[in-house]
Amino acid sequence: MDQFQPTCGRTTMNLPSSPVRISPHDGCAIITLDRVERRNALNLEIKNLIADAIIELENDSSVHAIIITGAGGYFVAGTDIAEMADMTPLQHSLQATGRVFEVLRACPKPVIAAVEGYALGGGCELALSCDIIIAGRSARFGQPEINVGIMPGAGGTQRLLRTIGKYQTALLTMTGDAISAELAFANGMVSQLCDDNQALETALQIAQKIATKPPLAIKAIKEILSIGQDAPLQTMLSLERKTFTLLFGSHDQKEGMAAFLEKRKPVYLNR
């Protein structure tokens, strides 16, 4: 992972001892989860650090795409059961244990999950909260919450339902069994497969390609995709058309089409 070291200073998240680090890279940024001794299991500290990192990068005009990955050959093996075991419903509410997923859903910039090893439980839900999922061929995905007396609580039923359908979702969530990245890809749950240990590099290539595109149009596409899953087709076709026409009032549309006609590289200004 040496090729992905930070290129500029940021918050204490960049300290070597931090379980969450931000690394900027040519128009995008990598958020690395580094709690290798627990296979990057999500505790409240890490979830809040991820949420804070997403908010920080939302407000950074030099960042156009965000990657979330895990150190040590794992994405996230799940949520920290030891921390959750004695929690009450009130504590879940007061401590905002689902905040990271809400922040991810609200992020206006595209987020890519680079998955190696395991993406289980909260880790699978973290990946499902992203816009694009890149996975090494040996990666495994699953929602094993049923094995410890609970159910998915951060999108594991509803995002899977809208992605792979009721019957596959029921099988995964009611048995707790994990599936291979190959099967997840075949079911439409993974955007792209790659060789093992290449998920981050592949995600970085995609993120840097997205970073060259007009930010207003990228934001519009993400918004339409996000709300389109829950709205009637005719409603979304009308909203898609309206959003499409509104982009013709932007500098970036004029620049993009002028550059195409003049056979030069466009310079987008996010306006």
Could you state, in order of their start, the residue ranges of all structural domains in the chain?
2-211, 215-261
Q: Record the tokens describing residue 161, joined without a space.
A: 């339902």
- State the distance between the two ends of the chain, measured CA to CA, in whole angstroms: 35
pLDDT at 94: 87
pLDDT at 227: 92
Distances (CA, A) of 39 to 19, 106, 146, 157, 177: 11, 27, 20, 23, 18
The backbone torsions φ and ψ at residue 21, rounded to the nearest 5 degrees and listed phi first, read -125, 150
Per DSSP, the chain holds a count of helices (H) and strands (E) of 12, 9
The Cβ of residue 97 has, within 10 Å, a number of other Cβ atoms equal to 22
pLDDT at 9: 40
pLDDT at 14: 67
Q: Are 143 and 156 in contact (CB under 8 A)?
A: yes
Nearest Cα residue to 21 out of 6, 36, 8, 38: 6
pLDDT at 15: 62
Same CATH topology for 2-211 and 215-261? no
User: What is the distance of C-alpha 187 from the center of its chain?
Assistant: 18
3-state secondary structure of 19: coil
| Assigned CATH class of 2-211 | alpha beta
Cα dihedral: 50, 53, 58, 61 (round 10): -150
Q: Indicate the pTM of the whole model.
A: 0.92
Q: Are 214 and 31 in contact (CB under 8 A)?
A: no
Q: Are 32 and 21 in contact (CB under 8 A)?
A: yes
DSSP label at residue 149:
T
Residues with active-site annotation: 125, 145
CA–CA separation, 141 vs 128, rounded Å? 10
pLDDT at 269: 94
The hierarchical CATH code for the domain 215-261 is 1.10.12.10
CA–CA separation, 246 vs 169, rounded Å? 37
Biggest alpha carbon–alpha carbon distance for the chain = 64
Nearest Cα residue to 127 out of 109, 99, 154, 106: 154
3-state secondary structure of 34: coil
Which amino acid is residue 146, in one-letter code? I
Mark the ranges of the chain whose per-residue pLDDT is less than 70: 1-16
pLDDT at 13: 63
Helix (H) or strand (E) holding 180: strand 179-180
pLDDT at 17: 74
Q: Record the tokens describing residue 214, joined without a space.
A: 């007009």
